[in-house]
Chains A and B, each alone.
Chain A
Amino acid sequence: MRIVVVGGGTGGTIVANNLARRLAAEIRSRKVRIMMLSDTDRHMYQPGLLYVAFGQMTPDQLYRDQARLLEPDIEFHVDAVTEFHFDRNQIGTESGKTHEYDILIIATGARIVPDEVPGLKEGAEMFFTEASAVRMHKRLLEFEGGTVAMTVSIPHKCPVAPVEAMLMLHDFFKARGIRDQVKLRYHYPVNAVHATPNVAVWAKPEFEKAGIEYETFFNLKEVDAEERVIYSEEGSEVPYDLLVAIPPHRGSETAEKNALGDAGWIPTDRYKLNVEGYDNVYAIGDATNIPVSKTGSAAHYEAEVLAENIASLIKTGTTVREYDGKVFCFIEAGFDRATYNAFDYVNLPELKPPSKANHWFKVAYNQMYWTSVRGLL
Chain B
Amino acid sequence: MSEVKVIDARNTFCPGPLMELISNMKTASVGDTLELLSTDEGTANDVPEWIAKVGHELISKEKVGEVWHIKVRKAK
Contact = CB atoms under 8 A, between A and B. Distances in A.
Interface of A: 116, 154-155, 159, 189-191, 195-197, 199, 217, 219, 233-235, 248, 262-263, 291-293, 325, 327, 341, 343, 345-346, 348-349
B15 A191 contact: no
A20 to B, nearest CB: 31
A248 B26 CA distance: 10
Interface of B: 7-9, 11-20, 22-24, 26-27, 42, 46, 49-50, 53-54
A197 B13 contact: yes
Contacts of B9: 291
Given A219-B54, A233-B54, A234-B54, A191 B12 contact: no
B14 A219 contact: no
Contacts of B22: 154, 189-190, 219
Dominant SS among interface residues on chain A: loop
A191 B11 CA distance: 19
A159 B14 contact: yes
30 contacts: A116-B26, A154-B19, A154-B23, A155-B23, A159-B15, A189-B19, A189-B22, A190-B16, A190-B46, A191-B50, A195-B18, A197-B42, A217-B49, A217-B50, A217-B54, A219-B22, A233-B54, A234-B53, A235-B53, A262-B27, A291-B7, A291-B20, A292-B12, A293-B14, A325-B11, A327-B14, A345-B11, A348-B13, A349-B13, A349-B14
Contacts of A196: 13-16
A348 B13 CA distance: 7
A293 B49 contact: no
Nearest to B11: A345
Given A197-B13, A219-B22, 19 more contacts: A154-B15, A155-B15, A189-B19, A190-B50, A191-B50, A195-B19, A196-B15, A197-B16, A199-B14, A217-B54, A219-B54, A233-B54, A248-B26, A262-B24, A262-B27, A291-B20, A292-B14, A293-B14, A327-B14
B14 A190 contact: no
Contacts of A327: 14
Nearest to B42: A197
Nearest to B53: A234
Contacts of B42: 197
Nearest to B28: A262
